[in-house]
Amino acid sequence: MVERVPPRSVQPRRSRRVLLASGAAALALAAGSVVPGAPLGAAPQQAQAADNDTSTLTVAVAQSVDSLSPFLAQKLISTSVSRLMYDFLTNYDVKDSHPIPALATKWEPSADKLTWTYTIRSDSKWTDGQPVTAEDAAWTFNKMMTDEGAAQANGSFVTNFRKVTAPSPTQLVVELKEPQATMAALDVPIVPKHVWEKVGDFSKFNNDTKFPIVGNGPFVLADYKVDQYVKLKANKDYWRGKPKFDELVFKTYKDQDAAVAALRKGEVSFVAGSPSLTPAQAASLKGEKNVEVNEGPGRRFFALAVNPGAQTKDGKEFGDGNEALRDQKVRQALFLSIDRRTIVDKVFQGHAVEGQGYIPPRFSDYHWQPSAGQSLAHDPARAAKLLDEAGYPLKDGKRVGEDGKPLDLRILCHATDPNDKAIGKYLKEWWGKLGIGLKVDCRDDVSVPWYAGEYDLAFDGWSVNPDPDFVLGIHTCAALPVKAKESAATDNFICDKTYDGLYRKQLAEYDPAKRADLVKQMQSWLYDSGYMSVIAYPNAVEAYRTDQIKSITTMPEAAGNIYGQDGYWSWWSAVPADGEGAHGAGGSGSGSGSTGVVIGVVVVVVVLAGGGLLLTKRRRATADDRE
C-alpha cells in the first residue's frame, strides 16, 4: 500500500529512503527459487505495564482518515492503520527492505513465472477466533479483480492476475496473464472473507460501523471518531508476538503547533507533523527535557502535479483545468521558473534534498537524475522563451493567450501543511515575474476538487514503497476513474501510450538491472512531460517522549523514519518507559528513558537533532497526505 499525502503522500502505501531493496530478492525470484526470508525477531518483553494498568502510546497526526476500509484507504494515516489491522502476504525487512514472510511463510514461481504458489501460515487467526486461511487471501484478491469499488486503493496489483485459488487452507495459487515482478511485494491487506463477504457496495463502505473490527494484525481497531482519533488495542494472539504497548492511539490535530505543544506537555507520546515537523518546530524541541528528535532520509517526495485534463477511462473529459496546461512548453516553463535550492534552504531549511526524479534517493536502485541537456533546473530566461513559443507573449506585465485572456492559474494547497503555504508564496512571486497570475487555494480537504478535476495544479506527494510499482501505476490509463468525479487510483489523470508501454515492460521484467532501467525511463518521461515536478525529498523529522517511549525501531534501522514505515515495526516494537509516563500519555512521567533505538535486542543511537545530519537522499501526498 502506498500512501499519499494528500488526496487520497503512499504504505504506508503509500510511505521509504537510503537503502534499497530487492536486488538479491529479485535475483532469487528470477531464478525461480523459494524466498523464505527471515522475519524480525520478537523484541524482549521489557517494561510491560502492570496487570491492572494500561500502557498507551499516543501519536499526534495532522491527517484525517479517508477510510478505514483497506479497499479504499489511500492517505498515509489510513494505510498505516490498515498495516496494523491486517497482515499482508509479505512484509519488508527493517534493515534493508527486502521481502520477508508475513501471512505467507514462503512463495515460489513456476518455471515460466506465470503461476505463484504461496504457503499460508497456520498459526494466524482472526480476532474473532476463526483461523486465517488461504481462502481469505483468495477472496480478497478475487474481490479486487471483479469489483471496481474494491479495486480503488490497490487494484494495480491485480490487473495482471488471471485466476486466484486456494486449493487448501495453507496454499494460495495465483495465475498471471504475464510475468509480474511484484509478486513478493503485493502490498495488499488480506481481510476475513466471513466478515467482508457481507459488504454490499465496496465503493462506499468505510468499515467504521462496528467495533472492534475483526483483523489479524498486531493491533485491533477498537474505536474511531471522525477527525478526532483512531484507537487500537494490542492483539495478544498475534503470531509474531504481542506489541509492548497495550494501546495505540492516533490523535488528530488540525494545527501542527498544537500537536507539538501537546508533546511538550506529555499529552501525546509522538509527533511527526504532516508528515514531518517543520524546521522551527524541530529546533524548538531540541534540548527539551524528555524529548528526542529523530531525523532520517525520507521515503516521500514533495511535488507539483498538473491537471492535464481530467478524463474517465472511456475518454470523457470533465473538470475545469486550464487548457493552457495541456501545452508541454507551458508546463515546462512553470517548472523552469522554480528555484528548488531556495525552497530546500528557506522552506525546509536544509532538512531535504533537491528533487529530480520521481523515486527518492533512499531507493538508490531506482533513483533517477536528468542529464545535463535534459535538466529543467532553475532558468527563468528559458521559461520566458518557452511561453513566447507557446503563444503567450508578455503584454503590460501579463502573459496573454490568443483569446486575449491573461494566463491565471490555481494551485490546490493543504491547509494543514505549512510547507504548501510557504512554497505557494514563492510560486506567486516567481510565476508573477513571468507574467502568470496564481491563486493559492488552501483547503482542509483537497480531495473533492481533486477528484472533480477542478484545479490547475496541486501540491502533491507520495510515500514510495521499496518496490516502486504502485506509485508508477497511478499514472497509467488503467488508473483513470470509470465515472467523472469519482475517486479512483489515478493521481492526476495522466494517460499516455508510451508511459503505459514502459509500465507493462517493467512489471514483467525479473532482471533487477533491466527493470531498474525501465523504471528510470518512466521517470525520464514523467520529467520531460512536465506533468509532475518533484521539488524536494524531505527528510523525516519527528519527535517522541523518552519518559513514555523507552525504545522504538526506525526503518532503515541504521538511520530511518518511525512514522509511516513500510511495515509496522515502530509501533509493534515500541517499549514503554518505566514510570507513570508510559501509562496513558497524560502525565509528564519521570523515567529518563533511552536515547536510542532498539532493533531486536541491540540499542543503536540514531537521533539526529535539528539538522545535525543531512543524508544526501531524500509521499505526496498531494492531494491530501496521500500514502
**C-alpha to C-alpha distance for 570 and 57, rounded to whole angstroms:** 11
| Alpha carbons 362 and 240: distance in angstroms, whole number | 28
Q: Among the residues of 238-373, which ranges form H helices?
A: 256-265, 279-285, 328-336, 340-342
- For the entire predicted model, the pTM comes to 0.78
412 with 427: CB under 8 angstroms?
A: no
- The Cα–Cα gap between 457 and 331 comes to 10
Taking only the tens place, the pLDDT of each residue in 326-382 is 999 999 999 999 999 999 999 999 999 999 999 999 999 999 999 988 999 999 999
Task: Give the tens place of pLDDT for each residue, 293-324.
Answer: 999 998 999 999 999 999 999 999 999 999 99
The amino acid at residue 554 is T
What contacts 451, CB < 8 A, 6 or more positions away?
Answer: 7, 481, 485, 486, 487, 488
How far apart, in whole angstroms, are the C-alpha atoms of residue 488 and residue 210? 26
- pLDDT at site 604: 32
| One-letter identity of residue 269 | S
301-349+360-538 under CATH 3.10.105.10, yes or no: yes
Q: Which three cell numbers stand for residue 294?
A: 529523530
Mean pLDDT of the chain: 85
| Selection from 457, 627, 610 nearest residue 535 by Cα | 457
Confidence at residue 40, expressed as pLDDT on a 0 to 100 scale: 41
Which residues make beta-bridge pairs with 395? 398
Low-confidence residues in the chain, pLDDT < 50: 2-51, 579-627
Q: What is the tens place of the pLDDT at every residue in 99-110?
A: 999 999 999 999
Q: Which residues pair with 100 in a beta bridge?
A: 91
Query: Other CB atoms closer than 10 Å to residue 405's CB: what's the count?
Result: 11
How high is the pLDDT of residue 340?
A: 97
| The predicted structure's pLDDT at residue 417 | 85
Query: Virtual CA dihedral for 412, 413, 414, 417, nearest 10 degrees?
Result: 160
